[in-house]
Structures are given as structure tokens and as C-alpha cells.
Structure 1
Amino acid sequence: MATAWRLLSERPGSSVTVLEKEDRVGAHQTGHNSGVIHAGVYYKPGSLKARMCAAGSASMVAFCREHGIPVEVCGKLIVATSEEELGRLGALHERSLANGLPVELLDPAGAAEFEPHVECVRAMRVASTGITDFGRVCEVLAELIGELGGEVRLGSKVVSVTPAAGAGVVVGTDRGEVAADVLVNCAGLQSDRVARMAGVRPPARIVPFRGEYYELVESRRGLVKGLIYPVPDPQFPFLGVHLTKMIDGSVHAGPNAVLALAREGYSWGRIRPVDVASAAGYGGLWRLARKHWKYGMGEVRRSLSKRLFAASLARLVPAIGPEDLVRAGAGVRAQAIAPDGGLVDDFLIVEAPGQVHVLNAPSPAATSSLEIAREIVGRIPVSA
């Protein structure tokens, strides 16, 4: 959606069609994420993620304010709950400074000024982190695309991509064909499959991981003022559960990370055999599993036990107990895994003649979407 809007804004008169297989925009990753506008703390200086997240944080806040989308720059705390985590917090502080971010280290008393119920030995305050409703962002983008003469075709599932006579492509959908000079693939959970349809061999495969959330009961929302994150452990593949104030005032807790049994599997009961077979037959996933099987089993146990989920949160805010949590929604992360079992760490954009494929865009992709779009548009020849 962001790419289509950028194309129409920067190249007036262009003919742009967005194909969306669902009956609404933002039905999957965009509509199921935590709503956080990330600052860019975790990313290697100079990487696409670092550059686009810092720029995207500013442009997303500005976009929301311009178009009346609820947004709040509330900041977040990353808290070290033990002496063993101080070295990692210090390294994160140095990386944040290298990325030009407004951060400060706090002692427990300083942390309590922002989050009175946090227990920590030290914390880092990230002032530029915000929250919004990315589903609403997607809806506004759809409206703007229409106003600029573009078209968003809902309920149009892509089933084939073939070269057109001379140049360009013909994209087949279950509701007819679309001929185009350039194909831009931002299909998220299905991006590697679309690339293969188009004759591109992806350097990684998408494997879906479900992130499950609880939320605090209304009477306990006061335990969290903004966003509270743990210090990430680089030896594990995911960040760990955290506490997030949502733009509607609720407080979400999570997510964990368990292998989903469908590309769009938002619950244990959603099983799609073709997706299970795709994941089970991929050597890269097995290599990842051999390295992190203990971590993975812990995530599964936490998925099945509210008590264990609450215990993880209590490391950050000791006052939280199982009785304070109720089930909330889940999201599915389109995680690109390389054949050697490594997680693709940066945004991954692959080009072919007349094609641009975004093959890895996990968090902070929503934050960075307007900047990823700028990058994509810059790769499309003006004559296209």
C-alpha cells in the first residue's frame, strides 16, 4: 500500500493497481501487529533496518498526524532485571547512540519515574518510540491511492505471473488478468511463493511463526504507562515477551513465538497441510531447530500455560499475575530463513527485469513502510 501511494505521489499519471487476496486491506501482518512505531534500537548501524527505521519512525508519525490517525510518542523502557544483563544493555546503549537515537541510561529510581511498577537493576529510556493503529494507516493509504487515480482490487488472489509479449508481466488472479510494465511483490507471508511464480529463486524461505498475546484486565492497566521491553539475548532468535500500551488504552503482553501450522495460522487449530509440508521439508528450518530446540520448547510451554506466560512478564513487572491476563489476538510473523538455518536479519529486496520482490520485511517493517516504499520506487526505472 505504501509503495503504491509513493508511486502515485512521486510519478503523477502512473497507472497503479494493488492486488489483495482478502476482502479488506491489512488483513494479516499489518492488522495483527502490536502497533509500535519503533525507534531503531536493535539494528546494526548502517543496515537497511537501521536507516529505514530511524527515518520511518519520523515519517510515520508525521503521516499519522497529517491524516488524523491516532498516534502517540510515548517512549519505552528496556530493562535489565539482573546483573548478567548489564553488559548487553550497555552494548544496546552504544548501538542506539551509533544510530543517532535519543536514549539515556537510568538507575532504578530513574526508571520508576517512567514506570513505577518496573523492577530492574538498570534501564534504558528510548524517547522516540511511539504507538499507532497500523490497520488504520493501511486504510488511509488505500483511500489516498484511490484519490490519486490508483486502484485497490480486493478479493483478487494472485495465481500466476508470466512474461508479457515484449516486456513486462501478466499477473493472473482468480478474477482475471492484469498486464503491467513492473511487478512489485510485497506479499508478506506469501512473498517467496509469488517470487517463485515470477521465475525468481528466493535466497530464503518464509516460515510462519505465530506470536500470541494476552492483555491486562482493565483494572490492572495502570501497572504499565508505556512500553516495557526486556534486554534481548542475541543467542536466541526472538526478542521475548514485553508489555505494550496500545493506542486504544489497552495493554498487550507478548508475543511469544511458536511455529505456526499455516502461513496464516493464528491459532493451534488452524492447520494447512501444504504449509506444514513446506516448512517440514525445508532443511533451513531443521538447522534452526537443532540450534534452538530448547528455546522453542520453552515458547511452546509458554503458549500452553498462562502461569508461565505471566511469570515471564513478572520479571519486568512483579505485580503481574496469571489472574491479571486474558487472551488477546495473535499475529503471524513472516520469518525468512536461509538454507543454512540462519534468520535473515535485514530487509531483503531482490530485483529481476521488470520485477522488485520484498522477500524479508519483519519488524520494523510497519514502522519503516513509507521508507521501504521510497527505496522500492527508487529501483523502478522512470520509463516503466
Structure 2
Amino acid sequence: MWQGMKYPVVIRNTKGEEVQCRYVVTCAGLYSDRISELSGCNPDPQIVPFRGDYLLLKPEKCYLVKGNIYPVPDSRFPFLGVHFTPRMDGSIWLGPNAVLAFKREGYKPFDFSARDSMDIITKSGLIKLVFQNLSYGVNEMYKACFLSVTVKYLQKFIPEITINDIIRGPAGVRAQALDRDGNLIEDFVFDGGVGVIGNRILHVRNAPSPAATSSLAISGMIADEVQQRFKF
């Protein structure tokens, strides 16, 4: 009985295994909105998945890139645009683009989830975002489908690059928070549940990019939020 009072929050997985906690901080990425709703939080902002495809520069052409090359980003969007990134192993990644994914874990172009797609269309402000930025979205889809279009864009920075110098690489999925008015959320969103149990949970529903680069600073900010909310 005392153990349950001291650690009132119980997290249980699908195997029936449990962890008892006094407080919980969630950073659920692509599922942050759904996890938040489980503790009684507002459904907004919703998470909309955007897939980012990378291209790889063939090894014999990596000498063309000596350092990071970034375009001037479009201030209307939180995406940096296609850029050149030298990696620790000597490879050069080109990308990513930003195209709508029809599955929260949609790492491939034809990955599809009926539930995720319905949520994107009916619960988020995606329709408003699309109509407000139709040309941008169509252009991103066009570049994703045709390598020659992407290569033409890359040639603005390195004219020597040809379509024969690149191959398709890996992809990632960005968990983009979006409000019902179609606005992309670019700042931190912290949320807490309701009730005796919900009040012991802090949800990190959105963290701005670049999350990995800024991970130590972000963790410090979350720790400050924990102290403030839970009165440590």
C-alpha cells in the first residue's frame, strides 16, 4: 500500500511488465500527441509526419565537398532545405527534402496507415497549411519523385555534380507539431495531464530543431520545467 502511494504512476507495456514511478516525463516524438491525450491533455497540437529523403554523393565525387553547404532557408518553414553534409565516415549526404508521410513511421514513399492518414486530414490543420503553401508542397513532391530536378537544384551550389554522381540514401521522419489553423509550431510545447495521476506527468509535445545538436540545452530546459511543475 505504501509503495503504491509513493509511486502512484504505473507504466505497463504490452507484455504486462510494469514500472512504478513518482513522476513521468514523456518525449514521444511522432506519438507525443497521442501519449499526451492518454493523460487527459488537449489533442492540439497534432503531430504531422514529414519524411526527409537523403541522397548520397558517390565516393569518387566526395572530393567536391570540403565542408557543410547550406542554402538560405525559407523563413516561412522550419525546414532548412537540401544541404551538403560531410559525415565522419567520409560520405557526403545531400538533403533532406520535406514531403508529407502518410504513416507516422513512414520511412518509405509508399508506407501507409489509414488511421494516421485520417488523423492528419481530420484532426490537424494540414488542409489549411496545404492551401496556404500549395506551390511549395508541390515543388517538394516533384523533387522527391524526379532526381534530375533535385540535381538541377544542387548544381546551383556545385555545378560539376551530375545525376550519375548521386544515389538514393536513407530517410528520416520529422514529427512536426501543427495547430488547427495550419500554423507550424516552432517552439517548445510542454503539457501536463489532469487528475491525481495526470498532474504527475510532463509531456514534451514539441522541441524545436536542431534537437540533436541542442540536446544538452534542451535537456536543461526540460529539467527546469520539471522543477517548476513538480516543485522539486
The aligned residue for residue 355 of structure 1 is: 201
1:178 aligned residue: 19
Shift of 1:233: 2.0
CA distance in 2, matches of 1:364, 1:191: 18
Counterpart of 1:133? Answer: none
For 1:48-127, list aligned pairs within 5 A: none
Shift in Å, 1:218 = 0.3
Query: Any conservation in 2 of the 1:195–1:357 contact (CA below 8 Å)?
Result: yes
Partner of 2:168: 327
1:379: Cα distance to partner? Answer: 2.8
Higher normalized contact order (CA 8 Å, seq sep 6+, divided by chain length): 2
Please state whether the residue corresponding to 1:225 is helix, strand or coil.
coil
Distance 1:295 1:284, change over 3 A: same
* CA deviation profile, 1:269-325 (whole Å, cap 9, x unmatched): 211111111112134111101111111111111111110111111111111111111
Separation of aligned partners in 2, 1:168 and 1:311: 58
Aligned twin of 1:375? 221
Secondary structure in structure 1 of the residue aligned to 2:69: strand
For 1:309, give the aligned amino acid: T
Match 1:286 to one of 103, 120, 127? 127
* Runs of 5+ consecutive residues of structure 2 not aligned to the other structure: 194-198
Whole-Å separation in 2 of the counterparts to 1:201 and 1:313? 42
State yes or no: 1:269 paired with 2:110: yes
Q: Given residue 322 of structure 1, which amino acid in structure 2 is its aligned partner? A: I
Output the CA distance in 2 between the equivalents of 1:226 and 1:172: 46
Contact 1:236–1:292 (8 Å) recurs in 2: no
Within the alignment, does 1:219 sit opposite 2:219 as a pair? no
- 1:380 positional shift: 2.8
Distance in 2 separating the partners of 1:311 and 1:168: 58
TM-score, normalised by the number of residues in structure 2: 0.88
Matches of 1:380 and 1:231, distance apart in 2 = 36
Q: 2 CA distance for matches of 1:365 and 1:236? A: 16
For the residue of structure 1 that corresponds to 2:79, the secondary structure is coil
Going from structure 1 to structure 2, the CA distance change for 1:314 and 1:197 (only over 3 Å counts) comes to same
Please list, as runs of the form range in 1=range in 2, the aligned pairs for 1:181-330 lying within 5 A after superposition: 181-236=22-77, 238-330=79-171
Q: Confirm or deny: 8 A CA contact 1:216 1:324 kept in the other structure.
A: yes
TM-score, normalised to structure 1's length? 0.55
CA RMSD for the aligned pairs? 1.9
Q: Amino acid of the residue matched to residue 197 of structure 1?
A: L
2:175 partner amino acid? A
